[in-house]
């Protein structure tokens, strides 16, 4: 008796993790369809001789265990490397100058008042307004936008000068419409439980976990890992572990229809019959694919917008850069009027990214508020990024190499009401036997979230296909 067939659409992290888990079960035959000529999705590593240029994600957060657990399962534990412990701080551009993010500043608020009060980033008035968080009445934890929450609790200055650029570096979103409940619900819970975000962070700081987070300024750099040979180490290993013939590259899934015993998947080259279907592409691409399967599900999927981003890797000789690069990178508030959203000092952040005597920088462009910038010609993107970096970091001369990488429609926007939309999507998908959804469009944008999403989709499909007892 032949085993059930599962078609997985999408060969990014979520689709690969799903296919890996399905294949490991030994209970089904798997076919993974990827429209691009390679697997990995937004994970893309370019090796320039012995240099490592990350075009997409460059690390993952270990407080979410799923990516690390998968790496260890694949035998990649020895390839994992942490950030440089001596450089775990970041900067923010303030009035044209890079200033250190106050020690212990946790995404939206300070865990320690002394470094915050000493910081030149904020005016005296802004610091006093932030301290009012200790006295303001609490709300009940109902969702609101990030901009609304930070401005209400800590004041406009903290929002504009630090919270907005730090969160923009994670979600590339418009903070006026970004759902706090869907992205950083812990801050709403802090207010509801402690009556003050600052007071709640002080309480958390006394715990062992918060003490580790306090080691860094800004991002919790001690909690991030990457792969020695680049992030594609993970996706390449996943693809290599799949049985021969599982992955079909350059094959676009153009539609699907319900059949009596499953699905008929229409591709650019054939029609495939499947007992189950996992759709692991962004929601805007999943919507037309599932239109004939469930029109209402398709409509709901189309309500999750995605933004476009670009990364620009810049390789330089160390003597070309006057800034000491004594940190992991910097973020840029929108009020500074720059083309760049943020910049990582890649060769300082992780070992082995560039050669001795070289510097590798990685700038970010675009996002929900500046998508038009991603559509500019590559040489124009490079020119404008270099203009910002020259001014901010004191760069002289021409770079050794510039690599511009665009990722259209890659960043889901968790707008107000996102969790309700996702709940409706999941409920609708449950009504379609044999169907599962995966990806960063729903309940987390990071690589660990994608791994979890793919593995949960695999478990769902296996449960549905299991013979009745």
pLDDT digits (tens, 9 = 90+) for 346-404: 999 998 999 999 999 999 999 999 999 999 999 999 999 999 999 999 999 999 999 99
Last residue of a domain, one of 151, 183, 216: 216
pLDDT in tens, 98-119: 999 998 787 788 877 788 889 9
Short-list 159, 219, 145, 158, CA closest to 188 = 145
DSSP state of 326: -
Per-residue CA distances from 440 to 88, 217, 386, 467 (Å) = 27, 27, 31, 31
pLDDT confidence of residue 25: 95
Collapsing DSSP to helix, strand or coil, 252 comes out as coil
| CA neighbor of 461 nearest in space, from 4, 42, 1, 2 | 4
For residue 335, tell me if it sits in a domain: yes
Angle at 386 between CA 382 and CA 390, to 5 degrees: 180
Eight-state DSSP code of residue 370: -
Q: Give the rounded distance of the alpha carbon of 318 from its chain centre.
A: 29
Of 264, 283, 280, 284, give the one whose Cα is nearest residue 272: 264
Alpha-helical regions (H) of 64-196: 66-73, 113-118, 124-131, 146-154, 156-158, 164-171, 180-183, 185-194
For 24, the enclosing helix (H) or strand (E) is helix 13-25
- CA 441 – CA 428 distance, rounded (Å): 16
* Rounded Cα distance, 168 and 427, in Å: 30
Q: Are residues 116 and 205 in the same domain?
A: yes
- Assigned token pair, 159: 């929002």
Decide which of 412, 427, 454 is a domain's last residue.
Answer: 412
One domain for residues 421 and 299:
yes
Q: Map tokens 């590339």 to a residue.
A: 172
User: Is 390 part of a structural domain of the chain?
Assistant: yes
Can you state the angle between helices 232-241 and 13-25, rounded to 10 degrees?
A: 30
Question: Does 204 lie in the same domain as 119?
Answer: yes
Determine the Cα angle at 210 with ends 205 and 213, to 5°: 120
pLDDT digits over 58-105, tens only?
999 888 999 999 999 999 999 999 988 778 889 999 999 999 999 878
Looking at the fold, whether 387 and 442 belong to one and the same domain comes out as: no
Same domain, 110 and 212: yes
- How many angstroms separate the Cα of 297 from the Cα of each of 7, 199, 214, 284, 429? 19, 42, 43, 12, 7
Looking at the fold, whether 179 and 119 belong to one and the same domain comes out as yes
299 and 419 housed in the same domain: yes
- Give this prediction's pTM: 0.92
What is the rounded CA–CA span in Å between residue 195 and residue 202? 12
- For residue 331, count other CB atoms closer than 10 A to its CB: 25
pLDDT at 85 (0 to 100): 78
Calculate the alpha carbon distances from 60 to 56, 98, 141, 228 in Å.
12, 25, 28, 13
Residue 120 in domain: yes
- Whether 180 contacts 187, CB under 8 Å: yes
Q: Do both 324 and 377 map to the same domain?
A: yes
Give the bridge partners for 82, in sequence order: 225
Residue 70 lies in a domain: no
Specify whether 198 is located in the same domain as 263.
Answer: no
φ, ψ for residue 255, nearest 5 deg? 175, 165
3-state secondary structure 374-386: HCCCHHHHHHHHH
Q: Are residues 419 and 293 in the same domain?
A: yes
Of 193, 216, 239, the last residue of a domain is 216
Q: Do 300 and 310 have their domain in common?
A: no
318 is a domain residue: yes
Statement to judge: residues 395 and 460 lie in one domain: no
Q: Is residue 95 part of a domain?
A: no
Q: Is residue 452 part of a domain?
A: yes
Query: Are 358 and 318 within 8 A, CB to CB?
Result: yes
Which CATH number characterizes residue 331's domain?
3.90.660.20
CATH for 242? 3.50.50.60
Rg of the chain (C-alpha set): 23
- Which residue segment(s) compose the domain that 311 sits in? 59-64+80-86+306-412
Query: What is the sign, positive or negative, of the torsion defined by CA atoms of 37, 42, 43, 49?
Result: positive
What distance in Å separates the CA atoms of residue 127 and residue 438, rounded to the nearest whole number?
A: 43
- Contact present, 280 and 9 (Cβ < 8 Å): yes
Q: Which residues of the chain have pLDDT under 70?
A: 1, 206-222, 468-469
Residue 222, burial from CB neighbour count under 10 angstroms (0-12, 13-18, 19+): middle
Q: Domain count of the chain?
A: 3
Distance between CA 141 and CA 187 in Å, rounded? 9
**166 lies in some domain:** yes
- What CA–CA distance (Å, rounded) separates 281 from 440? 9
């Amino acid at each position: 008796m032949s085993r059930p067939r599962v078609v997985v659409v999408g060969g990014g992290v979520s689709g690969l993790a799903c296919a890996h888990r399905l294949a490991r079960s030994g209970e089904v035959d798997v076919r993974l369809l990827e429209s691009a000529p390679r697997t990995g999705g937004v994970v893309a590593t370019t090796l320039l001789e012995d240099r490592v240029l990350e075009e997409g994600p460059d690390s993952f957060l270990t407080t979410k265990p799923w990516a690390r657990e998968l790496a260890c399962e694949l035998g990649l534990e020895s390839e994992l490397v942490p950030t440089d412990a001596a450089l775990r701080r970041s900067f923010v551009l303030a009035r044209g100058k890079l200033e250190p993010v106050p020690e212990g500043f946790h995404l939206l608020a300070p865990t320690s008042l002394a470094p915050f009060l000493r910081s030149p980033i904020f005016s005296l008035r802004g610091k006093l307004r932030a301290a009012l968080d200790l006295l303001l009445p609490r709300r009940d934890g109902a969702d609101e936008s990030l901009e609304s929450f930070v401005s209400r609790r800590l004041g406009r200055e903290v929002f504009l000068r630090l919270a907005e650029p730090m969160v923009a570096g994670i979600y590339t979103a418009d903070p006026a419409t970004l759902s706090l409940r869907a992205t950083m619900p812990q801050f709403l819970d802090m207010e509801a439980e402690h009556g003050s975000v600052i007071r709640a962070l002080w309480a958390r700081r006394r715990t062992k976990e918060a003490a580790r987070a306090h080691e860094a300024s800004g991002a919790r750099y001690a909690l991030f890992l990457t792969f020695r040979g680049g992030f594609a180490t993970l996706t390449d290993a996943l693809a290599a572990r799949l049985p021969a013939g599982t992955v079909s590259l350059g094959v676009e899934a153009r539609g699907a229809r319900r059949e009596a015993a499953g699905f008929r998947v229409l591709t650019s080259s054939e029609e495939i019959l499947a007992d189950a279907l996992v759709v692991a592409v962004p929601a805007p691409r999943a919507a037309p694919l599932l239109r004939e399967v469930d029109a209402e599900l398709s409509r709901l999927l189309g309500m999750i917008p995605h933004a476009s981003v670009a990364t620009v890797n810049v390789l330089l000789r160390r003597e070309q850069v006057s800034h000491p690069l004594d940190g992991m990178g910097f973020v840029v508030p929108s009020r500074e009027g720059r083309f760049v959203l943020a910049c990582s000092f890649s060769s300082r952040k992780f070992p082995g990214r560039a050669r001795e005597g070289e510097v590798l920088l990685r700038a970010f462009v675009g996002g929900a508020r500046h998508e038009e910038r991603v559509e500019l010609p590559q040489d124009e993107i490079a020119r404008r990024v270099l203009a910002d970096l020259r001014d901010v970091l004191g760069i002289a001369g021409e770079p050794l190499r510039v690599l511009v990488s665009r990722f259209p429609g890659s960043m889901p926007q968790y707008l107000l009401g996102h969790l309700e939309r996702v709940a409706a999507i999941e409920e609708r998908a449950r009504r379609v036997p044999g169907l599962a959804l995966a990806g960063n469009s729903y309940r987390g944008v990071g690589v660990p979230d994608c791994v979890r999403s793919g593995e949960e989709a695999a478990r769902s499909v296996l449960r549905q296909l299991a013979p009745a007892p």
